[in-house]
Structure 1
Amino acid sequence: MADKDSSRPSSAQTDPEKRAGSQFSDAGSSDGQVLVNPTLEKRVWRKMDYWVLPFVAMFYLLSFLDRTNLANARVAGLQHDLAMTNKQYSIALTVTYVPYIVAELPSNLLLKIIGPNLMLPAMLTMWGVITTLQGVVHNYAGLLACRFFLGLFEGGVFPGLVLYLSFFYPRHRLQTRISAFFSAASLSGAFSGLLAFGIINMHGVGNRPGWAWIFILEGLFTVVFGLISFFFLPRTPAHARFLNEEERRYVTAKLKEDGAVGGDGDDAFSWREVGAAFMLPQVWFLSVAFFFAGTTLYSLAYFAPSIVAGLGYTAARAQLMSVPPFACAFVVTTIASYVSDRYRCRGYTVIFCSILCVIGFGMFLGSTNHHVQYGSLFLSITGTYCAAPALSTWGANNATPHVRRATAIAIGFIMTNSGGILATWLLGSLSPAPRYTKATITLLVFSIGMVLFAAMNLVYLRQQNTKKALYRATHTKADEPKGLGDRSAWYEYSL
């Protein structure tokens, strides 16, 4: 690869990404393996964590907050003031997911072409404007229009952020970082409850109800942060101003060694690679798990305040009581992700977290004691929010080159948000409060399904790694056809 780049000096000199890539041999040994410099190793990832992760985490926190604050607004009186039925509330949630799902794959395929440093902040700013407008709606039709455009502009955020982080971190370092930003989702669940508790006291200010101020204040903050992020979000490690030239070469070399990025030709757009992603068995094993996880995640994200209110708490008290389970999820998710990266055990992490969900939903279903039911939320919410980053990382780890990985990630999140559509109806109108019996049974079955499909994917990937090891023992890399991507015998799947 170094020889190929050195034959085009003018291109390498003008493009930071190619210039860093052309120095691959400078950072590596003669056999193509990157030489580990402990001092440099520690410094470059610390810089990444300081400069990239805070923006990514805030992006997702605001995304999740602006999408799910409808639950807090509902408890604060939105449904009553707009004269909405439970069915209409479910429709308002569903309308968000239709454009959300449609936008995910095109957005992920365009991310590298347009540049994540432009595309992600633009989406953030636009959905912030829409969030703010929800605070001035006067009828159900206006709310539906806002929810539609909110989904359209937010659709590419989560798969885009996962793909974006895969530009910066090797596969075995990825889950801790995905968890760091996904933990913002559980943090937003806690944060939104506290915010809503304070904001609803603004009821009457400017002749607007308290629920309207939830949208207005949170939306305006999103717009401001989106505009600021245009100036600070780097396009790739090769364009990162906070890294010096030696650090850029090192990061690029590490990513190539790990298989997180390919060569110049490998990462070019190709419809063939889009189709190849749909043919990967590991994508479909995980897609089913993503659907189950999405249903449980959004059920709890949208209805946790309503579930808590159904246990006998007042509206304001319910906002506060929804905070501790999400705070617990934040802590456990952080710990589980460290363990998953340290021991490279994505599948076992998913299985463990799914078992927590099984226990939590079983407790809620089997007891009528409000204390037991409230306690069950600590298990179900923690398990759900802990499983999601492990699934996301697992999917991103096991597909390459870039276009195939971008497509695989998008497929997973299309399934996740399809589960979100089901969630809006499960606890909205199909299963009445406060017991939510049908919904709880469904979520219990889905949690068991997550265990089964994660286990099947684990078995499949282990078998593939064994076959690859046998091939490597009797062949050289030159014997293998080019362009295999993750199917190459020299690409070991993450378990």
Structure 2
Amino acid sequence: MTTDGVKEVPADTVSANEDTKKNPDVSTSSASSFSLTDSEHRVAKVTDCAFDTTEDPRFYKPIPEYESAHRWDPYFEWTEEEEKQLIRKIDIRVCTFACVTFFALQLDRGNIVQANSDSMLGDLGMTTNDYNTGQTIFYLTFLFSELPSQLLSKKVGPDRWIPIQMVAWSFVAAFQAFLKNRAGYFACRALLGLLEGGFIADTILFLSFFYKSKELPQRLSYFWVSYEATSIVGAFLAFGFLHIHGSNGYTGGWRYLFAFEGLITGIIGIIAAFWMPASPTQTKGGFRGKDGWFNEREEKILVNRVLRDDPSKGSMHNRQAVTPKMLWHALCDYDMWPIYLLGLTWMIPNTPATNYITLELKSLGFGTFETNLLTIPAYVIFIINLLFWTWISERFNQRLLLGVVSEFWCLVLLIALEVLPDGASGWARWIINALLIGAPYVHAIIVAMTSRNAGSVRTRTVASAVYNMMVQASSIIASQIYQEKDKPYYRVGNKVLIALSVFSMALFIGAKFYYIWRNKYNAARWNAMSSEEREEYLAANKDLGNKRLCRLGAVIA
């Protein structure tokens, strides 16, 4: 982008040159697969460009099948004010609605916590261990459906797949109102996990169509704000629904909680089918109006700013499937493995506190409605920490070190829980647990880091799913740490969590040093090349993703 008042100079159309495709190892004038006009050799003036602005932009031209290829223009310029206005526009129309859909997800997968504050376990003849087993089943099916769901989303488009998912799981969520026994509880948790799996990665893929890599962490923080806002709203909804009592044996207020919250999700899913656009250049129709959201100039700004930030986003069509070969290459990307390992461990230390807050408060003598209202301060602390530390991340360009802060926060509070005497006040335990639940949540930062480090659409599609699979696996581990025989103070479980906090801190530090080394290694190899060698490298290596040496900042930490 440029300063205000710069006149746009459109580029001519690029045509394919079949002769040079056969021999990419030629001089600068003929190395490309494309025959370009003089205007296309002009480099677009844009800040934070992902590629070296002395390079020929023809090496970064999107494929012809890319849905927004007709808006690509390496010479196109726009003002900062225009871009800010467009960002506000997509924040309202794209990001806000994505948060609403996430609200629906958390409403249906998280209301089990409020149901536990009522008589659900007793009504179904279940124990805490049965509850743990149900949660494990949920996370297992969620985990195993994660990658298939993401691959299906890439094939049909997240704008189509997300509404289908939402309507499907809303039926299961609502029909939990008719549970009669433990077997039915297990079956519903399995179906919910199966249908909800992949939703988060699908939505992140959808958001990546509209936002630059540096903008994504803040938007994802809003995403997870809606996650905790759901917990707050859910507590108030539970306060109302749990006061309702029916007849014919279905007296538990938790049944109405499941029924009405499932209905809410179904309505949001139907709206999503008519609201979510396929891409910035495909917004006409549905609730978006016959003229769509953007005019031609706005579409060009949206497309070119995203492609200049990350040219790899133009390497696939938004409804193009990831092939088995692409899947294998993405899974073998070793630069993503440290992130996956972090996903398996870093959330465990405070997950049991979140899952058991209502059960623990009830065991300490608080009533059903007090228990639900007492969860709200923890979620408020969570939201404040989420927004603050995400802002810190981008302000100081730090990510993994903030994970160390999060783990240290948990470590201190877990030690406090462990040394607190058995006869201590219930209010003291509530304060510690509230602070533990509200620990700095770096999930949005790591998810954005995963997307940013992917370097290609195929790897972004797969990596987002695999990272979330690791997170679900961590939830499975966490659901088994607090056991029935260890209640109500969970001394053994807390010792395990303390050890995991220390281990995760070491992983964050190790990953930080690994990515620093990788960046130095790549930069040294790139800087050692002559300009001719760089041009030959660019012409011959168009599909290396984050392994392209010239992709500055390919691995961030």
Say whether the fold is shared (TM-score over 0.5).
yes
1:434 matched to 2:479? The reply is: no
Distance 1:337 1:426, change over 3 A: same
2:327/2:462 contact within 8 Å kept: yes
Q: What is the CA-CA distance between 1:260 and the residue it aligns to?
A: 6.3
Q: What is the CA-CA distance between 1:201 and the residue it aligns to?
A: 0.7
- Could you tell me which runs of 5 or more consecutive residues in structure 2 were left unpaired when the two chains were aligned: 1-10, 18-33, 36-62, 284-291
Q: Matched residues in 1 for 2:396 and 2:156: separation?
A: 36
1:283/1:395 contact within 8 Å kept: yes
Q: Matched residues in 2 for 1:209 and 1:234: separation?
A: 41
Q: What is the CA-CA distance between 1:263 and the residue it aligns to?
A: 3.0
Alignment-derived partner of residue 394 in structure 2: 341
Alignment-derived partner of residue 58 in structure 2: none
Alignment-derived partner of residue 54 in structure 2: none
1:422 matched to 2:484? The reply is: no
Alignment-derived partner of residue 373 in structure 1: 429
Alignment-derived partner of residue 506 in structure 2: 452
**Any idea what the Cα deviations from partners look like across 1:61-116, whole Å, max 9, x if unmatched?**
22122112112112201000011122222221122122211111111122121111
What letter matches 1:145 in structure 2?
A: A
- Aligned counterpart for 1:263 among listed residues 304, 314, 318: 314
Pick which of 224-233 and 292-301 moved more.
292-301
Distance 1:54 1:260, change over 3 A: farther
What letter matches 1:478 in structure 2?
A: E
Q: What is the CA-CA distance between 1:437 and the residue it aligns to?
A: 1.6
Alignment-derived partner of residue 185 in structure 1: 227
- Aligned counterpart for 2:442 among listed residues 383, 387, 412: 387
Q: What is the CA-CA distance between 1:40 and the residue it aligns to?
A: 1.6
1:249 matched to 2:300? The reply is: yes
Distance 1:141 1:265, change over 3 A: closer
What RMSD in Å do the two structures reach over aligned CA positions? Answer: 2.6
Alignment-derived partner of residue 24 in structure 1: 72
What letter matches 2:14 in structure 1?
A: D
Alignment-derived partner of residue 110 in structure 2: 68
Alignment-derived partner of residue 172 in structure 2: 130
Distance 1:75 1:482, change over 3 A: same
Distance 1:35 1:270, change over 3 A: farther
What letter matches 1:262 in structure 2?
A: K
Alignment-derived partner of residue 470 in structure 1: 524
Alignment-derived partner of residue 159 in structure 1: 201
Q: What is the CA-CA distance between 1:282 and the residue it aligns to?
A: 3.7
Moved over 6 A (4+): 5-8
1:443 matched to 2:500? The reply is: no
Pick which of 225-234 and 266-275 moved more.
266-275
What letter matches 1:494 in structure 2?
A: I
Q: Under a length normalisation based on structure 1, what TM-score does the superposition of the two structures give?
A: 0.90
Distance 1:361 1:220, change over 3 A: same
Alignment-derived partner of residue 330 in structure 1: 383
Q: What is the CA-CA distance between 1:470 and the residue it aligns to?
A: 2.1
1:289/1:449 contact within 8 Å kept: no
Q: Matched residues in 2 for 1:468 and 1:247: separation?
A: 36
Q: Matched residues in 2 for 1:373 and 1:358: separation?
A: 15
- Aligned counterpart for 2:274 among listed residues 216, 228, 231: 231
Aligned counterparts, 1:35-434, within 5 A: 35=77, 37-204=79-246, 207-240=250-283, 241-259=292-310, 261-264=312-315, 269-296=322-349, 298-368=351-421, 369=424, 370-383=426-439, 386-429=441-484, 432-434=486-488
Q: Matched residues in 1 for 2:334 and 2:252: separation?
A: 50
1:292/1:450 contact within 8 Å kept: yes
Matched position secondary structure for 1:72: helix
Distance 1:270 1:297, change over 3 A: farther
Distance 1:5 1:310, change over 3 A: farther
Pick which of 223-232 and 473-482 moved more.
473-482
1:349/1:390 contact within 8 Å kept: no
Q: Matched residues in 2 for 1:301 and 1:124: separation?
A: 24
Pick which of 217-226 and 458-467 moved more.
458-467
Pick which of 326-335 and 136-145 moved more.
136-145
- Aligned counterpart for 1:3 among listed residues 5, 8, 14: 14
Alignment-derived partner of residue 544 in structure 2: 484
Distance 1:450 1:190, change over 3 A: farther
Aligned residue-pair number: 481
Matched position secondary structure for 2:277: coil
The higher radius of gyration belongs to 2
Matched position secondary structure for 2:68: helix
Distance 1:464 1:266, change over 3 A: farther
Pick which of 64-73 and 253-262 moved more.
253-262
**Any idea what the Cα deviations from partners look like across 1:12-46, whole Å, max 9, x if unmatched?**
xxx99846323322xx34xxxx7462012101211
1:494 matched to 2:549? The reply is: no
Q: Matched residues in 1 for 2:282 and 2:155: separation?
A: 15
Q: What is the CA-CA distance between 1:374 and the residue it aligns to?
A: 2.0
Distance 1:315 1:256, change over 3 A: same
What letter matches 2:104 in structure 1?
A: L
**Any idea what the Cα deviations from partners look like across 1:197-235, whole Å, max 9, x if unmatched?**
221111236853111111011111111111111111111
Q: What is the CA-CA distance between 1:330 and the residue it aligns to?
A: 0.9
2:451/2:460 contact within 8 Å kept: yes
1:166/1:260 contact within 8 Å kept: no
**Any idea what the Cα deviations from partners look like across 1:434-469, whole Å, max 9, x if unmatched?**
211222222222222222212222111111222222
2:351/2:478 contact within 8 Å kept: yes
What letter matches 1:326 in structure 2?
A: Y
Q: What is the CA-CA distance between 1:333 and the residue it aligns to?
A: 0.5
Distance 1:194 1:316, change over 3 A: same
1:308/1:322 contact within 8 Å kept: no
2:158/2:205 contact within 8 Å kept: no
**Any idea what the Cα deviations from partners look like across 1:454-493, whole Å, max 9, x if unmatched?**
2222111111222222233232442423311111122212
- Could you tell me which runs of 5 or more consecutive residues in structure 1 were left unpaired when the two chains were aligned: 9-14
Q: Matched residues in 1 for 2:260 and 2:350: separation?
A: 25
Distance 1:354 1:164, change over 3 A: farther
Q: Matched residues in 1 for 2:311 and 2:536: separation?
A: 22
Q: What is the CA-CA distance between 1:276 and the residue it aligns to?
A: 2.5
